[in-house]
Amino acid sequence: MDGTQAGEGDDDKKKKKKKTEEDAVQLRRKIGLLPAVCFIVGTVVGSGIFIAPKGVLVNSGGSVGVSLLVWVLSGVLSTLGGMCYAELGTTFTKSGGHFIYLLETLGPLPAFLRLWIECLFIRPALASTVALAFGRYVVEPFFTPCAAPIELIKLVSLLGLTFVVAINCWSVTLASRTQVTLTFIKMFALVLIIVPGGIALAKGKTESFQNSFEVDPSALDMLPLAFYNGLYAYGGWFYLNYITEEVKNPNRNIPLAIICSIVMVTVFYVLINVAYFTMMTPAELLLSEAVAVTFANRAFHGLASVIPILVALSCLGALNGGIFGTPRMLLVGAREGHWPQLFSMIHVRRHTPLPAVLILYPLMVLMLVMGDIYQLISFVSFSRWFFIALATLGMILHRYRFPDYVRPFKVHLSVAVIFTVVCFFIVALSLYSDPWNTGISCALTLSGIPVYYGTVYRYRLPHRLTRFFDYISKQLQILLEVAQQEVQTY
């Protein structure tokens, strides 16, 4: 009798504990392999493949062959980087991506600078770039062959951005399902571009590929910027590492999702660029404000209006992926004491990182209103690739310092070394090719150093100001209905 009662008591305790964990405020592991692949592909394949071909071609000296080579090498480099980040993601089980890897391997200052530039510049700039591409592809078909009003483009871009932010504030599940749906739509869009290009190639439309590697060597001074544009189009292969704590079976799913996604995207990107050149000469591509629209007008006569809609939805998917991932970095940064504690909280019912999403919104709107697509790409690329190189350098040093540390997925040392060296080389060359934009990006990054020493390393704010910030934080916590995580998810 006593044994039975004791057993029933244990069962009740287990049920109560399980119920408590289900109701607890926490980030939940809801991302399986398919959503993980869709998350990466959906984030990578966005505006990049529809705006970057122009930037790659012009900085490749107008050479079709060189530009296609840039696309292939950018894919190879992204694959090597993805393998490195697969090791980092399975070695360090916290979410936060670059921030947490720099914190664990190189220390708090580089980690804070990555968080600083991500929140204040990189994510707002990237989001506004994708949103502007979304707005352009929605508006442009209505004004062809005339140029669309930039004010209208920015208004539509703002509506798209607001819609995606609202989804990510409302529900993790809804944001995840939206990503899966938009990923399938965008893959259909890519196939719709590749197939007519392949047919045209088979029919002998190869004029753009004749003597495709003939180029003036002096025109290749800007080649690093061609790689920046190409790598921008591949950007996003590391976003799954931002949400490690929400991925089911991360030791298996993170490496599989990253590697499969990048290889798939590389094949599609090269085929799409080949398709572009079957319908357009290099000069015509450089004159086009919306490459996919120009392609559609030539490849499809009755269905030309469909392609811009599909491209716009593709941009929306990339926007959703970026806004889904980046707030997790801010959340983890706040949890580690590198950001105000309010941003480490999540909504008590919806389990979304509401404060971290909302802080990005006004910055993204400001960048969208003020920014230009190609200038924003140049601004962002230096800081992004510099810190990626630092993260993989930190991985190499961590291996040396802690050789017995458990690493469920481990890449060959040569892969990490090659990727790190190439990244530093591209960053260094950009100082020569575009010193103005690169210098501004570097200055914005370094501006975080006094902030770090004044707020993180040693808190120096006056007591009255601290009390004011604490009061505001408490009121916002009540208003937003957010709280700290009640269950450790790493």
pLDDT in tens, 274-315: 888 888 888 888 887 667 777 877 777 666 677 778 888 888
Cβ count within 10 A of residue 337: 14
The pLDDT, as a whole number, for residue 490 is 65
DSSP-derived secondary structure letter, 236: T
Mean pLDDT of 190-196: 86
pLDDT level of residue 88 (50, 70, 90 thresholds) = very high
Q: What are the tens digits of pLDDT across the range 215-230?
A: 766 666 777 778 878 8
Q: What are the tens digits of pLDDT across the range 8-64?
A: 555 555 554 544 555 666 667 778 888 888 888 888 887 677 777 888 888 887 788
pLDDT of residue 347 exceeding 50: yes
**284: its two tokens:** 């015509």
pTM: 0.83
Residue ranges per structural domain of the chain = 28-483
**42: its two tokens:** 């959906």
The pLDDT, as a whole number, for residue 414 is 93
Residues in the chain: 490
Mean pLDDT of 454-464: 76
Contact criterion met (CB below 8 Å) for 442 and 99: no
Residue 482 main-chain phi, psi, to 5 deg: -120, 155
pLDDT level of residue 6 (50, 70, 90 thresholds) = very low
Question: Which of 56-60, 128-132, 486-490 is predicted with the least confidence, judged by mean pLDDT?
Answer: 486-490
Within 8 A by CB and 6+ apart from 157, the residues are 128, 131, 132, 134, 135, 136, 368
Q: What is the CATH number of domain 28-483?
A: 1.20.1740.10
pLDDT of residue 475 exceeding 70: yes
Mean pLDDT of 145-165: 87
CA atoms of 418 and 358, how far apart (whole Å): 38
pLDDT of residue 319 exceeding 50: yes
Residue 31 main-chain phi, psi, to 5 deg: -95, 105
pLDDT level of residue 464 (50, 70, 90 thresholds) = confident
pLDDT level of residue 469 (50, 70, 90 thresholds) = confident
Within 8 A by CB and 6+ apart from 183, the residues are 38, 39, 41, 42, 45, 317
CA atoms of 490 and 483, how far apart (whole Å): 18
Whole-number average pLDDT of the chain: 83
pLDDT level of residue 392 (50, 70, 90 thresholds) = very high
CA atoms of 117 and 122, how far apart (whole Å): 6
Q: What are the tens digits of pLDDT across the range 320-345?
A: 888 888 888 888 999 888 888 888 88
